[in-house]
Amino acid sequence: MPSNPCPRSPRRRRRAALGSLAAVLAAGLVPLATVATAPGAATAASAPQADRRLPYQDPRLSTAARVDDLLGRMTLAEKVGQMTQAERADIDADPAQITEYGLGSVLSGGGSVPDPNTPEAWADMVDRYQRAALDTRLGIPLIYGVDSVHGHGNLQGATVFPHNIGLGATRDPRLVERIAHITAEETRATGPQWAFAPCVCVARDDRWGRTYESFGETPELVIRMETAIDGLQGRPGQLDRPDRVLATAKHFAGDGLTSYDESKAGTGAYPIDQGVDQVSREEYADLALAPYWPAVQEHHVGSVMPSFSSVDWTEDGLGNPVKMHGNHELITDVLKGEMGFDGIVVSDWQGLRQLPGTYADQVETSVNAGVDMFMEPYSGSSTGYPQFTETLTQLVQDGRVSHARIDDAVSRILTAKFELGLFEHPMTDRRFIDQVGSTAHHRVARRAAAESQVLLRNEHRTLPLRSSQDVYVAGSNADNIGNQAGGWTLTWQGGSTNVIPGTTILDGIESAASGDVTFSEDASEPVPAGAAGVVVVGETPYAEGFGDVGGPQWAYDPGDHGVARPAKTMQLSEADTRAVETVCAEAASCTVLVVSGRPMEISPDLLGQIDALVASWLPGSEGSGVVDVLFGRQPFTGRLPVTWPRTVEQEPINVGDADYDPLYPYGFGLRTHGHAHR
């Protein structure tokens, strides 16, 4: 097995036998007749008197005792239901399906939102589903999951923070924890109690469409930023608070380590996302598994999501890759065994369906590999959660999945629900709902945007700009809040037309400058004499494999499932390049900001025309934070979280490589007046 790259710490809490039903009965907490005959549908809203409560309904007992008691009362159908997660679109028209199938969880995929998309509507929606769950025989509450990856991004009005790559540039773990805490507060105040975040992958090839979801290219940096888990969950024992949610370390393990498949580039397939890790066991342990040891043992993350990727440890890398959703060795032996993870392993979106064989084979393999809860959206006659529950039930009856494996999975799910306080307080605690998108939260987003800026070039001490200067602003990303927010914002893929509360970079410049500000996106308007030029260029939004360089030339959109988009590259568009050339030729000084989810190729000729170059990443809702460092209100302190290549052909390029010759090395960043720091 891979060596342990991190020292182990004592395993936390729970699964020790702290109590049992027999002990409870012996203590006289509930009469035996009550246990044998009472219906199990009591809820916090309609609980019987304390002396009539069933043991699992008694908050005075330990979590282990409550889980043990409740598990002993459940039928196979109820257990399988707890292992099943549906998507809100599947059940919104008829929440009684939650009751019928005894569903353990519901999620919102990217862009799957109530109408209207407001905090109150979210809370009402989740509570409506929760009432359906409480109508089941045992009244087991629902847990609701959402991709709060840079704020509660699905919600219109939520505070949207920089994506992880920008947070990695800050090198500020305390700030990351604060951001995650705000995210947890805004998420739970509107209903969901489970965040599918943070991504603790180590991005080793910037052609990957999920590079911006990584904190950086080294395990050390990613591990430093795992304070995000603490921000989401709080310290052990705080999960039941109304400003905390269950966190998810993803994607286990090695999604940032996949090999680029040149044969797929331009074919409409994903050249790198969901691909294969073709590495040695030692390299896999160092780069893929390393972040999970502290995530589990120090930060006590409550759930882990397997990757869509595969791992191939054969010597020549051409053997038999094993998909993570079916990898018993890594999920059960390493994660649950060696690391001591005792939380929930939750599948990614229909992840088991990428395994070989029939659907029954896929379910059998994934459950036996150690996955506990299954994200099986779509309730059609032959797909989705109805098919999953029927198939898993039959597999247990046929002896292909053991009752012990089912009990282990359900115990983990119930434990999380007890620790979240859902049995006592199943409905949304809305005390912080007025804080969603608050001024105080936007101040933190603005600070994060400022700290994430990395100054790469500053000839002639161009930056900071003087507020008294006239400023000429150009470029596709100067006045586009959808572009600066990136993917996972309002919709799965994000969008240039997605508008959220906040400020664009142009807004920030207009507020900071006392001189005249001229904006011309394509730089077609004349540049005033003596004006400082600021050109904001970069990428348009994407998520997952649609962002792979050379990947699919279309993307999913909730309103029109196939939307044509150009294949992604790491090069500036022709329009942005022309804008840079025009402004740099005519303005008194030329500052270029690159708003993107990864480094972009800057040719030597173009770089030679640029006075100041800034990596702005995806700064989120507060373009004013970018402007704070541009005008010297705050110093530049950001450092590159990934290596900036000279050309795309250098990818993959990472610190420590032989013949390492990037345009800007990992960790590089200039102070405001041109002094490098590391």
> What DSSP string describes 64-102?
HHHHHHHHHH--HHHHHHHTEEEEHHHHTT-THHHHHHT
**pLDDT tier, 320 (very low <50, low <70, confident <90, very high otherwise):** confident
The C-alpha atoms of residue 200 and residue 295 are separated, in whole angstroms, by 9
Secondary element (H or E) of residue 143: strand 143-146
Measuring CA to CA, which residue among 173, 212, 182, 147 is closest to residue 616? Answer: 212
β-bridge mates for residue 455, sequence order = 614
Digit-coded pLDDT (tens) for 478-500: 999 999 999 999 999 999 999 99
**pLDDT tier, 382 (very low <50, low <70, confident <90, very high otherwise):** low
Omega of the bond prior to 588 within 30 degrees of 0, cis? no
Q: Is 601 assigned a catalytic role? A: no
DSSP structural state of residue 121? H
The C-alpha atoms of residue 476 and residue 568 are separated, in whole angstroms, by 16
Secondary element (H or E) of residue 368: helix 359-369
The C-alpha atoms of residue 236 and residue 255 are separated, in whole angstroms, by 28
What does the pLDDT read at residue 621? 98
What does the pLDDT read at residue 317? 55
Measuring CA to CA, which residue among 673, 448, 631, 675 is closest to residue 534? Answer: 631
Q: What angle do CA 311, 315, 321 make, to 5 degrees?
A: 25
- Say yes or no to pLDDT of 48 above 60: no
Digit-coded pLDDT (tens) for 159-183: 999 999 999 999 999 999 999 999 9
Which tokens in the block code for residue 559?
Answer: 């309103």
Q: How is the beta sheet containing 374-375 ordered, strand by strand? A: 194-195, 143-146, 105-108, 84-87, 374-375
Phi and psi of 504, rounded to 5°?
Answer: -80, 170
Provide the CATH topology of domain 75-427. Answer: TIM Barrel (3.20.20)
Lowest-pLDDT range of 8-12, 43-47, 450-454, 635-639: 8-12
The C-alpha atoms of residue 97 and residue 379 are separated, in whole angstroms, by 10
Sign of CA dihedral 360, 361, 367, 373: negative
Strands annotated E in 268-376: 276-278, 303-306, 310-312, 322-323, 344-345, 374-375
CB 437 within 8 A of CB 155: no
- Say yes or no to pLDDT of 15 above 90: no
**Which residues neighbour 486 within 8 Å (Cβ) at sequence distance 6 or greater?**
150, 163, 212, 494, 539, 541, 542, 597, 618
Domain boundaries, the chain: 75-427, 439-650
- Residue 149 burial (CB < 10 Å; 0-12/13-18/19+)? buried
Digit-coded pLDDT (tens) for 580-589: 999 999 999 9
What does the pLDDT read at residue 174? 98
What does the pLDDT read at residue 23? 35
Digit-coded pLDDT (tens) for 518-572: 999 999 999 999 999 999 999 999 999 999 999 998 876 655 566 777 889 999 9
Measuring CA to CA, which residue among 286, 294, 292 is closest to residue 307? Answer: 292
Q: Specify the 3-state DSSP secondary structure of 555.
A: strand
What does the pLDDT read at residue 559? 56
Q: Annotate 522-533 with b (16+ C-beta within 10 A) or e (fewer).
A: ebeeebeeebbb
Which tokens in the block code for residue 474?
Answer: 């150009």
75-427 against 439-650: fold identical: no
Q: How is the beta sheet containing 310-312 ordered, strand by strand? A: 276-278, 310-312, 322-323
Q: What is the DSSP string of 396-425?
A: HHTTSS-HHHHHHHHHHHHHHHHHTTTTT-
CB 232 within 8 A of CB 624: no
The C-alpha atoms of residue 379 and residue 392 are separated, in whole angstroms, by 16
Measuring CA to CA, which residue among 277, 367, 284 is closest to residue 331? Answer: 367
Q: Which residue has the tokens 């003087």?
A: 466
Q: What angle do CA 297, 299, 305 make, to 5 degrees?
A: 85
Q: Which residue has the tokens 């110093």?
A: 635
Q: Which residue has the tokens 């180590």?
A: 202
- Say yes or no to pLDDT of 418 above 60: yes
The C-alpha atoms of residue 547 and residue 209 are separated, in whole angstroms, by 4
CB 150 within 8 A of CB 162: yes
> So what CATH class is 439-650?
alpha beta
Q: Which residue has the tokens 């409740």?
A: 70
Q: Annotate 629-651 with b (16+ C-beta within 10 A) or e (fewer).
A: bbbbebbbbbbbbbbbbbebebb
Q: Is 544 assigned a catalytic role? A: yes
The C-alpha atoms of residue 667 and residue 670 are separated, in whole angstroms, by 10
CB 543 within 8 A of CB 493: yes
Annotated catalytic residue, options 544, 548, 601, 611:
544
Strands annotated E in 10-79: none
Sign of CA dihedral 87, 500, 669, 665: positive
Which tokens in the block code for residue 627?
Answer: 């402007």
CB 568 within 8 A of CB 555: no
Annotated catalytic residue, options 68, 90, 255, 348:
348
Digit-coded pLDDT (tens) for 595-645: 999 999 999 999 999 999 999 999 999 999 999 999 999 999 999 999 999
The C-alpha atoms of residue 673 and residue 298 are separated, in whole angstroms, by 39
What does the pLDDT read at residue 52? 79
- The two beta strands, 471-474 and 517-519, are parallel
Measuring CA to CA, which residue among 492, 517, 490 is closest to residue 502? Answer: 490
**What's the whole-model pTM score?**
0.92
CA within 13 Å, CB half, 30:
24
What does the pLDDT read at residue 379? 75
- The two beta strands, 612-617 and 105-108, are unpaired
CB 627 within 8 A of CB 614: no
